[in-house]
Amino acid sequence: MQVQRGFRTKLEDYLNTKAKIAVDLAIYGRSVYDFSCFGVDERNQLSDDRYMVFYNQKQSPNKEIEVTLQQGRALYSVDLVQLPYTVNKLVFTVSIDGDGIMSAIEKHTVNILQDNRSILSCEFLGKDFFLEKAIIALEIYRKGTWRVNFVGQGFRGGLPELLKHYGGEEAR
């Protein structure tokens, strides 16, 4: 089902939250893009770096979250049942590595899949952004049950500003 930016819903209304899901992020543009998944706590903070899954750390401690990367694309495998209760939200992001701004992208697609079928899908276009260098594309969070929010929020300061928003900092 195609949804719009800002769409929120209970995941259980669309898929089996007790079975693995996949989050497929693809971005089309001329820059180099990095994808990340942050596992944050109830205070919306990165309290455990082991739950930041990206190019340099491709899985969480017990493989609850794993990523396969290609140029301009990230496919996350997620087992919500296995996540510790300290991880209250998964935040899926894309940031520009080097030059470029998000308004120059052709499009950014976000798909939630189960059993290799697209269940929920959203598309963001360059015109949805301005000078941002990073985007929060999707949040999967607990609020009684697992829910989803197709965010599409940009950060001008790129990955460092995005990390700071969640109480983290970029390693030097």
Q: Check residue 170 and give its pLDDT.
A: 72
Residue 69 tokens, joined: 């990367």
Report pLDDT for 58: 98
CA 14 to CA 106: how far, in whole Å? 28
Tens digit of pLDDT for each residue in 39-96? Answer: 999 999 998 999 999 999 999 999 999 999 999 999 999 999 999 999 999 999 999 9
One-character DSSP codes across 16-60: -TTS-EEEEEEEESSS-EEEEEEEE-TTS----GGGEEETTB-B-
pLDDT band at 135 (very low <50, low <70, confident <90, very high): very high
Greatest alpha-carbon span in the chain: 42
CA distance 46 to 30: 30
pLDDT for 171: 67
Residue 172's pLDDT is what? 60
Look at domain 2-165 and name its CATH class. Answer: mainly beta
Per DSSP, the three-state class of 135 is strand
- Averaged pLDDT score across all residues of the chain: 95
- Cα 161 to Cα 152: distance, rounded to the nearest angstrom: 16
- The model scores a pTM over 0.75: yes
pLDDT of 136 > 70? The answer is yes
To 10 degrees, the CA torsion angle through 78, 147, 42, 67? 20
- What gap in Å lies between CA 24 and CA 22, rounded to an integer? 6
